Structure 1
Amino acid sequence: MSTDVERAAHAFCPRCHPDPRPGEVLIALCGARHPYYGRRDRPVNQCPACVRLASAPVYACGHPGG
């Protein structure tokens, strides 16, 4: 997964959410809405759908992917 992508429970497009604030509700790559609470790189917390979608060449939002 790209280091440019938020890697908490869900992954987010860094172009749609370039500077998220703590607690801001973002739309994850898998479509889930999830509050942002900073970067966490613990694989055990990763959403399997987001992990798969984060490696796509283009995200659903139309921005280039990882």
Structure 2
Amino acid sequence: MTAEIERAAHAYCPACNTDPGRGDPVTALCGATHPFWGRRERPVNNCPACETLAAKTFYPCGHTGSER
């Protein structure tokens, strides 16, 4: 994983990551795992892989974006 992807704003499955706290390890839709930095209203840049996966009907984990 490149530093650019590491700094990018990732998308997360809301069913797999129900309420992460700052510093909790989370796995983004693209597979990047890192401490949770908090949700961002308007990120400077987005992870392109996460954007592609978030646009699909089902996430790689099998959940949909509407599941909680």
In the TM superposition, structure 1's runs of 4+ consecutive aligned residues that sit over 4 Å from their partners are none
Work out which of the two has the higher radius of gyration on C-alpha atoms and give 1 or 2: 2
Which 5+ residue runs of structure 1 have no aligned equivalent?
1-7
Cα RMSD (Å): 1.7
Q: For residue 59 of structure 2, what is the amino acid of its counterpart?
A: Y
Identity across the alignment (%): 59
Report the TM-score when normalising by structure 2. 0.74
What's the CA shift string for 1:12-53, capped at 9, x where partnerless? 100000110101111100011122121113343210110111
**Is there any run of 5+ residues in structure 2 with no aligned partner, and where?**
1-7
TM-score by length of 1: 0.76
Count of residues paired in the alignment = 59
